[in-house]
Structure 1
Amino acid sequence: MKLSQKETNFNSEVVTRFELYNSLFLTLPFYQVKHTGILLPFFSSHCEEGVKQQMTPVDIIESFFGQYEQYVQEADRFDLLFRIIRYIERQVVLFDAVEDSAFNKTSRSEDAGSLEVLLRQISSNPDFKETVLQKLDDLSLRLVLTAHPTQFYPGPVLSIITDLTEAVKHDDITLVNELLQQLGKTPFFNKDKPTPVDEARSLAWFLENVFYQVSATIQSQIENEFDSPALSRHQLLELGFWPGGDRDGNPNVTTESTKEVSEMLRKVLFRCYYRDFRVLKRRITFRGVESYMNRLYDLFYINSFTDVESPTNLQSEILDNLNAVKQVLHWDHDGLFVEIVDDMIRKVQLYGCYFASLDVRQDSRILRKTHQHLREKLGLVDDFSSGYDELTEEEKLEKLAFTENDYKTSEGDDPLIKDTIETIRLMKSMQQSGGEKASHRFIISNCQQASDILQLINLFLWSGWKKNELTIDFVPLFETVQDLSVAAEVMRKLYTNPFYKAHLASRENRQTIMLGFSDSTKDGGYLMANWSIYKAKIELTEMARNHNIQLTFFDGRGGPPARGGGKTQRFYASMGKEIANEHIQLTIQGQTISSQYGSFDTAYFNISQLISAGIISAVEKSEKDTMSPDQKELFEKMAVDSHHSFVELREDPLFIKYLESLSPLKLLSQINISSRPMKRNSGSELKLEDLRAISFVTAWSQLKQNIPGFYGVGTALKDIKEAGQWDEVKSLYRTSGQFKTIIDNCMMSMSKSDFRITAYLQDNETFGAFWHKLKDEFELTEKMILDLSETTVLMEKYPVERRSIGIRERIVLPLVIIQHYALQQLQSGKMTEEQNAIYDKLVIRSVYGIVNAGRNLA
């Protein structure tokens, strides 16, 4: 079969170059690296053959060592296995770098169109240009960086990947060789768990080295195309930040860490400004600008390299001085170098004195507890009635009063209550130092009722905030299937509450609602999670429009499709008329940050795609993207059917036991990649409801089964076909961008699955029947999806991505076998304490490479 141009480019630009540079590993001057590199192809082939023959991981490893006399001793075997892990970890980094270096030639997707294509259309069509300009007045994109534990590359390795990508791009073999040597000596894991501030510093690297320049470049391109005063007043691109502010289930996030992160973001930003200003200063050496330039130097230098006591928002002063310089250049120096000044002005307008808005998030249960505490401490029990917590929701809404107070915490306060109150007070000082956008959102996790929001407003008013100065947006987060089903009613009660209605009016009638994907998948399965969010968006949009509210959806999306990831730009480009889509906000987390926003090229492309998707969705809201009542009924029927199938699996007594016994789930807590515990209620017995979605999805991905990304889909499709509605489903796949994206993302999850690896379990006395249940659903889903998409293999219509996944899976197959081998040995119960410790380490070390290679597996 003839290869497409993109496939041909991928083979020449990625596959061939990877093989070339991979050979450099053998020349590195490290302990037995050549010996490991020579043995690795034989080990990989042996693993592939063993998997084909459905051998157990123990048999695969033991039979390999049986071929080599020098590996009789157990210590020598362990030594080789660890060396193989280290070698493959670095192969994955090299493949990342080679693939990223070729990004512009191989990975440009036409799914949602590109910004460049859109701008060309605008230039050639004045009417279209005017239409797009009107839409841009409403459109905005906010990317929120989160520190969820899916980023397995430490900061130094990320820096090497960046440099390696550039070296490969320019075919600088000498530099590539030096960087591979550096990589060989750089550890891939932390000895200690990172603190929230450590996580913030790690992610700030992307702000400083990628987003700072990319966002300004894109904003500049759009401004130059339209040359519109309206657009210059509108901030199209915004950045958000969660590390240090997200305390939901993370006891390590404190008021002090929030303060430290806020100060760090300010300092990193001013260092970016200072570097730019040094370039400006070298060019603008003319008379008439001395006083302005001197003042700018002082502002940038002092705030970059000294600890400023009680910092203030300097954005206006910086802009005044830059505009004064610009004016002198125009008047007296023929506008020479004015474009450099414009670039700085644009960046100061984009980032102010805060860089990225620091969101604060806490669970509603903690906030309720804090509300109860303050009612008692402030003597407000009579005002709220002594049995307030036992009242119905309607009775609570009637009782709630919005009085002002100024409660100061004391040593006797519960730590979580104290943190909540002091963080609310801190948000005011953060706004004073960085401007309102420095920290203006409080997100309520597990939001279940309107009183959760209104009681939080009480906490602000009781902690020194004034009603007429409440510059805060209160953001409910609806996560579970049940919470999503009642979300519109919760918002109705808020929109009709007199105080909240007045508060929204002071915020320009703008409301942000966050929808969580990960927990709804864990709760209801892949198809039901997608349907629940889609349905909730329609209902919430209708409710907001009925009350003249400008609604923004903030999507909590993880990396893999099982957590809302996948082809994000297609997701936003295919919103129908029933869903508010003027403002796109989403979390980008873990490996999604490094894989999709880790370099200028990838970040520019993905941000451009999202902006283009938003414009297309707004300008070209076609009827096909708005499902008909019959199509919605069809989608819901499949979602409910899939949900039943997934719940039946989840309630199987072997469900958690299977994960605990056969995956590295229990050992994930020992991996030093996150300040967050693996599960809520960390001291209690493992329960599915307490298990974090990231750990849940990661465990399945290590098994190469990816259950959260497909289970129940095949059953639902089969049942609907047997009901005689297959033609309608095929029509839905062809005409609905939303449904097609959901199915295509499901294919991506399945492409990263391989049941051959665990085929040795099929006759297992304990887990055999359960394994067959998983495998049968996988095969059924594959069969039904291939029929639906009219293809012969998964991801047939995305050959480059399919090829990339295939190569990555082949690279890490030895790691998967080593991990399962170690888990089997641990399960045998025959190992000594010393051996158990080594096998634990083998499991933990193999997790890193498997997740890194999978890009967005966790």
Structure 2
Amino acid sequence: MNYQPSQGLQQFKNLVGIKFQLYNSLFTSLPFHRIEKTGILLSLLLTICEDGYKKRQSPEQILEEFFQKHTTLAGEREKADVLFRFVQYVERQIVLFDALEDAAFKHVNDMSGAGTLKHLLSEVIQTNKEEELTEKLKDYSVRMVLTAHPTQFYPGAVLGIINDLSRAVIENNAADINLYLQQLGKTPFLKKQKPTPYDEAISLIWYLENVFYHASGRIISALKDQFPHAVDKNNSVIKMGFWPGGDRDGNPFVKAETTLRVAEALRGAIIKCYYLDVRRLKRRLTFKGVDVLVAELEQKLYNNIFIPGLKTELTKDEILEQLGQIREIIIYQHNSLFLGMVDNLIGKVQVFGLHFATLDIRQDSSVHTSVLAAIAAKERLVPEHYASLPDARKVELLTELSGTVNPELYDDPLIRDTLDSIAAVRTIQRGNGEDGCSRYIISQCSTASNVLEVMGLFLLCGWSKKDLTVDIIPLFETVDDLRDAAAVMKTLYENPHYREHLKLRGETQTIMLGFSDGTKDGGYLMANWAIYKAKEELTAISKEYAIDVVFFDGRGGPPARGGGKTHKFYASMGKNIANKQIQLTIQGQTVSSNFGTVDTAQYNIEQLLHAGISNDLFSSKEVTLQADEEELLHSLSVESYKAYTKLKEHPHFLAYLNEVSPLRFYNETNIASRPTKRKSSGRLELKDLRAIPFVGSWSQLKQNVTGYYGVGTALQWIDKQGKWAAVKRLYVNSPFFKTLLDNCEMAMKKCFFPLTEHFSAHPVYGEIWSLIYQEFELTQKYIFKLSGKNELMADYPVEQLSIQMRERIVLPLSTIQQYALTKFQALEKSGAASPLKEVYERLIMRSSFGIINAARNSA
């Protein structure tokens, strides 16, 4: 019987909706102060919130009415204490919901349906495209890069409880569920200190060891079982990347020492994974001739992780060679007994090597310019007044630099670390293999010299042009930079020295495109369209110069930062965009929501693999946008950009976000090691504000501006131009445009304007609130007109219900946060030195935890 979406919805209702109601009753036994009364009062508050917003009451009015009618509390401190208890209670309800969704995943989703590996293999066989698949897999891969951009507040202990709770739910073990919920009640959700970059790395290495390692092994084994000769031993179909410890863009806490420690931790973690697998093999491969080889391999791995101070010259090839010998003996002498276990481990070693994940280095382009200027002033290895030279002159001289810089001469910690980080790349490659650290990403890249400055610094740090085993990756982010990207790459491709470097790197150029800063700069529609066009133009210019271009997408969790239906975007790219590999960042709650368990990770990795392969093997001209369709999308993007720019340039735009949302408190939440702004100056500037706090603040306001603003205006404009029929055709025929609006709907589904409606009458912020609300209503009207539906996300009923349930759970927290913001600002404006000010500040931040964790479904 074919799997129907209605089956998934019913399973979700049964396994998540009903079970949430059942297990929710266990919360009354949680070890909180007066917990029974807290649960009853919270349930009452939820009803009062829903009724109050229908009556257009403000959060302050709703909570004051609640305290007056349903409690005997009079003092502000007592009221705040109750609100803190509500926050604690809701936080744990959200954990329960997460665990239930994880446990139900295999039943709610069709694990053999469209987009899965089984479906792909079936398509290949039915269309007789085995040869095409083999050719594709020679150099095709999916690279998932785990980033140092956490947007989830769960400490590691809580993530562990979610994992255990999910398992207990799957087993219907009520005793363990009750026990874990009690453990949850005793486990703090607060992080008392900011995590260091190394802490962030260790948190994400847990996912590599416990999720990606096993999910990747399953996928590679399945591919090899079906098509033994399709997976090329020189190309691992799955690749992992890693940013914590290497991403130093705007993070003063990442040092070269951190980078080396993280690389060592990655190496140790993957060897430990191999060691445990070899131990399991040893229990089965007890045959003559094999047992000795397995024992030898076990000892080699043991020596590299358990003997203090001992690190042997173990290599990936050495492990594979020994496993190959074991494999041959099993096949020819022991009837291939337990061969599947050996092949599974071989597949993992081919994917993860001794590096586990490639540690990327990332730095802002302006830093490289400053370092070269400092070298010019101190050592004269760079022409004097380098910084003031025209770009064309810089391009000429950067590839001709000679001499070796002395890092000891520089006192500035940023300059010293930049030089030390380049030295660290060589150290890591010696210990973890070349894949351990072979990519240098340049953020805020806008010129060819920005790229060649990195090449020049490597040359000055002792690397020669012939042994520069590093891919230099420009990151284009703003609308202007995306528009100019092809011209920048043309200049680089025409530079003989850089061209020679690309020849050494397999005639391949990786280019990163940033969604997060793109939407912050240009709004939702323009950012997505600018990236699409940049990819088309970069594909064309790279093809002209016989370069294989690979796109690396900087995507966040929500649609406003490039998330949402990611695999559908890749499947909709068409023939005009290079499809050599899929590379993307996995960040924030996307790590735990889409890759938190082996089943979810396997499913979502398969979706990405399928998207890239099917786009090449089965894509038709209908998927590729035609010239008139591109013209239509360009017109829509321009109109959308105009509307978003007008909002962004409103004199109260940033002040509104800073006052009405928790933006100003982001840096105090101890969520990440990086500051919320790129520069430490006191004045709030949009260009310095990082995309995560920017998008996250709109999300907590339940306004999600960067996920839809300007879309309605653009559709209305095209309608008035008499081109509605053309837009309708585009929506029906173009997977790209359809996915774009699907993700837009996801962002809108999580909006709730009654929460902030009281600002509509505000003397300063009333106008900007009304502008945002009117655009939301206009966008919704035109999306309904396009889709023929009368509710958002109607095509995705499971996710629609998940969002509805999560938003209902979190409504009291949003109300409490707005109430606390109002109280805090009143005290701040009065100038009174009240201890309550700190209480409300903590309440704002604590509410943020639950609100953001509840948004786990990437919206």
**TM class, shorter-length:** over 0.9
Equivalent position amino acid for 2:244 in 1: P
Aligned to 1:741: 739
Q: Aligned match of 2:92 in 84, 90, 100?
A: 90
Whether the 8 Å contact between 1:10 and 1:800 is mirrored in structure 2 is: yes
Equivalent position amino acid for 2:227 in 1: F
Deviates further, 38-47 or 336-345: 336-345
Shift of 1:3: 9.6
Shift of 1:627: 1.3
Shift of 1:224: 1.4
Whether the 8 Å contact between 1:404 and 1:464 is mirrored in structure 2 is: no
Shift of 1:832: 4.5
Shift of 1:346: 1.8
In 2: Cα distance, 1:552 partner to 1:658 partner: 40
Give the gaps of 5 or more residues in structure 2. Answer: none
Shift of 1:171: 1.1
Q: Aligned match of 1:646 in 631, 644, 647?
A: 644
Aligned to 2:814: 816
Aligned to 1:326: 327
Equivalent position amino acid for 2:158 in 1: V
User: Cα deviations across residues 770-809 of structure 1 (Å, max 9, x unaligned)?
Assistant: 2111111110111011111111111111111111101100
Aligned to 2:8: 6
User: Cα deviations across residues 398-430 of structure 1 (Å, max 9, x unaligned)?
Assistant: 333434433231154311111111110110110
Aligned to 2:153: 152
Aligned to 1:620: 618
Aligned to 2:367: 366
Aligned to 1:599: 597
User: Cα deviations across residues 118-149 of structure 1 (Å, max 9, x unaligned)?
Assistant: 22233455x22222222222321000000203
Shift of 1:169: 1.4
Shift of 1:236: 0.5
Shift of 1:328: 3.0
Cα-Cα RMSD: 1.8
Whether the 8 Å contact between 1:371 and 1:456 is mirrored in structure 2 is: no
Aligned to 1:531: 529
Whether the 8 Å contact between 2:147 and 2:244 is mirrored in structure 1 is: yes
User: Cα deviations across residues 211-269 of structure 1 (Å, max 9, x unaligned)?
Assistant: 00101110111111111066333210000000000000000000010011000111111
Whether the 8 Å contact between 1:141 and 1:236 is mirrored in structure 2 is: yes
In 2: Cα distance, 1:849 partner to 1:187 partner: 13
Q: Aligned match of 1:795 in 782, 793, 796?
A: 793
In 2: Cα distance, 1:824 partner to 1:298 partner: 63
Shift of 1:719: 0.5
DSSP-derived class of the 2:249 partner? coil
In 2: Cα distance, 1:750 partner to 1:489 partner: 36
User: 2:476 matched to 1:478?
Assistant: yes
Aligned to 1:833: 834
Cα gap change, 1:3 to 1:551, in 2 (>3 Å): closer
Count residues in correspondence: 853
Aligned to 2:515: 517
In 2: Cα distance, 1:378 partner to 1:111 partner: 62
User: 2:83 matched to 1:81?
Assistant: yes
In 2: Cα distance, 1:230 partner to 1:709 partner: 39
In 2: Cα distance, 1:466 partner to 1:816 partner: 56
Shift of 1:112: 5.7
Whether the 8 Å contact between 1:223 and 1:231 is mirrored in structure 2 is: no
In 2: Cα distance, 1:480 partner to 1:412 partner: 32
Cα gap change, 1:111 to 1:376, in 2 (>3 Å): farther
In the TM superposition, 1:746-765 aligns within 5 A as 746-765=744-763
Aligned to 1:251: 252
Cα gap change, 1:541 to 1:566, in 2 (>3 Å): same
In 1: Cα distance, 2:307 partner to 2:735 partner: 51
Whether the 8 Å contact between 1:679 and 1:692 is mirrored in structure 2 is: yes
Aligned to 1:136: 137
In 1: Cα distance, 2:836 partner to 2:855 partner: 29
Deviates further, 303-312 or 157-166: 303-312
Equivalent position amino acid for 2:96 in 1: L
Shift of 1:559: 0.4
Aligned to 1:169: 170
Aligned to 1:443: 441
DSSP-derived class of the 2:625 partner? coil
User: Cα deviations across residues 733-777 of structure 1 (Å, max 9, x unaligned)?
Assistant: 111111111111011100000111111112112211221111111
Cα gap change, 1:747 to 1:602, in 2 (>3 Å): same
Aligned to 1:496: 494
Give the gaps of 5 or more residues in structure 1. Answer: none
DSSP-derived class of the 2:551 partner? strand
In 2: Cα distance, 1:720 partner to 1:230 partner: 47
Shift of 1:369: 1.0
Shift of 1:564: 0.4
Aligned to 2:665: 667
Whether the 8 Å contact between 1:698 and 1:857 is mirrored in structure 2 is: no
DSSP-derived class of the 1:66 partner? helix
Shift of 1:59: 1.1
Cα gap change, 1:113 to 1:408, in 2 (>3 Å): same
In 2: Cα distance, 1:3 partner to 1:618 partner: 27
In 2: Cα distance, 1:464 partner to 1:313 partner: 26
Aligned to 1:786: 784
In 2: Cα distance, 1:407 partner to 1:310 partner: 30
Shift of 1:110: 9.8
Aligned to 2:35: 33
Cα gap change, 1:188 to 1:180, in 2 (>3 Å): same
Shift of 1:303: 1.8
In the TM superposition, 1:339-354 aligns within 5 A as 339-354=340-355
In 2: Cα distance, 1:679 partner to 1:502 partner: 38
In 2: Cα distance, 1:89 partner to 1:265 partner: 32
Aligned to 2:389: 391
User: Cα deviations across residues 103-125 of structure 1 (Å, max 9, x unaligned)?
Assistant: 12224499963221122233455
In 2: Cα distance, 1:194 partner to 1:395 partner: 43
Aligned to 2:716: 718
In 2: Cα distance, 1:19 partner to 1:477 partner: 46
User: How does the TM-score come out when normalised to structure 1?
Assistant: 0.97
In 1: Cα distance, 2:310 partner to 2:458 partner: 25
Equivalent position amino acid for 2:33 in 1: Y
User: How does the TM-score come out when normalised to structure 2?
Assistant: 0.97
In the TM superposition, 1:155-234 aligns within 5 A as 155-228=156-229, 231-234=232-235
In 1: Cα distance, 2:68 partner to 2:805 partner: 28
Shift of 1:166: 1.3
DSSP-derived class of the 1:543 partner? helix
Cα gap change, 1:856 to 1:475, in 2 (>3 Å): farther
Deviates further, 603-612 or 676-685: 676-685
In 2: Cα distance, 1:388 partner to 1:499 partner: 20
Whether the 8 Å contact between 1:147 and 1:243 is mirrored in structure 2 is: yes
Whether the 8 Å contact between 1:378 and 1:407 is mirrored in structure 2 is: yes
In 1: Cα distance, 2:314 partner to 2:495 partner: 34
In 1: Cα distance, 2:114 partner to 2:498 partner: 38
In 2: Cα distance, 1:161 partner to 1:223 partner: 33
Equivalent position amino acid for 2:592 in 1: S
DSSP-derived class of the 2:407 partner? coil
Equivalent position amino acid for 1:84 in 2: F
Whether the 8 Å contact between 1:313 and 1:432 is mirrored in structure 2 is: no
In 2: Cα distance, 1:145 partner to 1:294 partner: 34
